[in-house]
Chains A and B, each alone.
Chain A
Amino acid sequence: MNKIINSKLIQNAVKGLFIKANTSLRPDILAGLKDARKNETKEKAIYALDAIIKNAFIAKKKMLAICQDTGMAVIYLKIGQSVTVKGDIKKAVSKGVESAYKEGCFRYSVVNDPLIRKNTNTNLPPIIYTDIAPGKKIEIRVVAKGFGCENVSKIKMFRPTEPVSEIEAFIVDAVRDAGSRPCPPVYIGIGIGGTIDKAVSLSKEAIFRPLGKHNKDRHVARLEKSIFKKVNMLKIGPVGVGGNTTALGVSILTYPTHIAGLPVAVNISCHATRTAEITI
């Protein structure tokens, strides 16, 4: 027997997740910022981190957006095969996004056409990724992705024979080139493998992983730690004023790939990394 889930439940969940993501900073990110604060010695870096930490408290207390760029809404749905949804799933997600942005007083940051560029005044449409899984549940994960950091994303198709050190150099260069534009200290999402689109998709999904946790593959975890060390040696620092914290963390997701290729994507997330998730 399939479990029946009303699409209204999905709509309410999506709405709640976007309000939470945009106003309540992830506890792991907040903890990372506080650790970073202890690790800074320069006056300006401390000043910037204090303001960022204070910002998170003000936002939560006033239910105010952490950042004015409340992002384009990206939703990842993993739908159990034994679930039957009553109603239109995509419409429910859209309605959830629309009401979250309206009621949360979030900014409408989406234009109807990338070339004509007229604001839709609803923050719609969202970007929805769907996946299927065994079971009777629906997992909903959302990202409110600001474009200060989205704009510094990088992708490169490496030769399969290239050494890992070249991949590291590419990622460190991407963070250096980004400078202070993506609002450091950043959380660096990296996707390695698959096809070009898969690598990019992984790089965005990577930031769902709680800060401080590493990839379960030891060689990948080692790479995360090595990149983390190197990017923090760039000394870009909080908001770019110089300092020890350029990145709060590095998260890599991998996927099998083709014998002829080695795609690597970098999707940087700002210190206001806004994600939320729920399983219904």
Chain B
Amino acid sequence: MRKISLPLTKEIIKTLKPGEQVLLSGAFLTARDAAHKRLTDALKAGKKIPVSLEGETIYYTGPTPAGIDMVIGSCGPTTSARMDPFTPLLLSHGLLAMIGKGERSKETSLAIKRHGAVYFITIGGAGAYLSEKVKSAEIIAYKDLGPEAIYRLEVEDFPVIADIL
């Protein structure tokens, strides 16, 4: 299986094939419904957002809290389609890759292709398995959102399948 280091670039994305299984290593952000709403509300209002999206990968997840001696709890993907209304704006601010589960809307799929970005899927419902791929986790924004806060996760050989690009 092909191994890819993060951050991604448009050049690397061009070499991916739909359906290709890849192992990602490096760091990405997490964000789900509430964080997406806040990010886009701020961008629409012309305000600064607490993270840079340039060349960034967002993983749609809201992990369970880490137990004792653990980096993170269970952290599988959530349904990506709920992020569809927010995705085109984030893409226009430099977002390059998303990881989640399930189909995307037609509009979002077109926006992903137009921006030369990529949408990966990973194993839905395998949060315990995926937690073993996470080497460090840190909340970097919107801490008040609890499980919906934005984390930076460092991962090693995180399994994904290229779905839309």
Partner-B contacts on A (CB < 8 A): 44, 47-48, 51-52, 54-56, 58-59, 62-70, 105-109, 117, 119, 121, 148, 151, 179-181, 183, 239-241, 270-272
Q: Which of A64, A66, A105, A108 contacts B125 (CB under 8 A)? A: A66
Q: How far is the CA of A109 from the CA of B74 in the complex (A)?
A: 14
Please tell me if the beta carbons of B125 and A52 are within 8 angstroms of each other in the complex: yes
A55 close to B129 (CB less than 8 A): yes
A interface, over-half SS? loop
| B85 lies within 8 A of chain A by Cβ | no
Contact A59 B101 (CB under 8 A): no
Residue B138 lies at the interface, judged by CB distance under 8 Å to chain A: no
Q: In the complex, which residues of chain A have a beta carbon less than 8 angstroms from the beta carbon of B61?
A: 68
Interface residues of B (CB under 8 A from A): 19, 21, 34, 61-67, 70, 73-76, 78-79, 81, 101-103, 121, 123-132, 145-148, 159, 161
In-complex Cβ contact of A121 among B34, B124, B146 (8 A): B146
Given contacts A58-B128, A64-B74, A180-B101, 16 further A-B contacts (CB under 8 A): A51-B129, A64-B73, A65-B64, A66-B74, A66-B127, A67-B128, A68-B61, A68-B78, A69-B76, A70-B74, A107-B64, A108-B146, A121-B146, A181-B103, A240-B124, A271-B125
Do residues A181 and B101 form an inter-chain contact, with CB atoms below 8 A?
yes
CA of A44 to CA of B159 in the docked complex: distance in angstroms? 12
Q: Which residues of A lie under 8 Å from residue B81 when comparing CB positions?
A: 181
B147 adjacent to A107 (CB under 8 Å): yes
Let me know if B127 and A67 touch, CB within 8 A. Answer: yes
Could you tell me if A58 and B73 are in contact, using CB atoms closer than 8 angstroms? no
Smallest CB gap from A146: residue in B: B125
Contacts of B66 in A (CB 8 A): 105
In the complex, what residue of chain B is closest to A62 when comparing beta carbons? Answer: B128
B146–A44 touching, CB < 8 Å? no
Q: A44-B161, A55-B129, A105-B66 are in contact. Are A67 and B74 (CB under 8 A)?
A: yes
**B131:A44 contact, CB within 8 angstroms:** no
Q: Which of A117, A121, A181, A271 has the most CB of B within 10 A?
A: A181
CA separation between A264 and B114, bound complex, in Å?
A: 42
Distance in Å: Cβ of B104 to nearest Cβ of chain A: 11
Interchain CB contact under 8 A, A105 and B73: yes
Cβ distance A187 to chain B, nearest Cβ, rounded Å: 12
Q: Give the docked Cα–Cα distance between A44 and B45 (Å).
A: 43
Q: Contact check: which of A44, A54, A105, A239 meets B101 at CB < 8 Å?
A: A239
B64 touches A70 (CB 8 A): yes
**A107 neighbours in B (Cβ, 8 Å):** 62-65, 73-74, 147
Chain B residue numbers with a CB within 8 Å of A59 are 74, 128
Report yes or no: A65 in contact with B123, Cβ–Cβ below 8 A.
no
Bound-state CA distance A65–B67 (Å) is: 11
Min distance, Cβ A22 to any Cβ of chain B, angstroms: 9
CB atoms of A108 and B131 under 8 A apart: no
Task: Decide: A272 near B102, CB < 8 A? Known: A58-B132, A181-B79.
Answer: no
Q: What separation, in Å, do the CA atoms of A180 and B119 have in the docked complex?
A: 14
With a cutoff of 8 Å between Cβ atoms, the chain B residues found around residue A183 in the complex are 101, 124-125
Bound together, the chains give a CA A67 to CA B63 distance in angstroms of 9
Q: Name the contact of B102 in the complex, choosing from A52, A69, A105, A179 (C-beta under 8 A).
A: A179
> Can you list 6 pairs linking A and B with CB atoms under 8 Å apart?
A44-B21, A51-B126, A66-B74, A66-B127, A121-B146, A239-B125
Bound Cα distance A46, B73 (Å): 25
Docked complex Cα distance between A63 and B159 (Å): 23
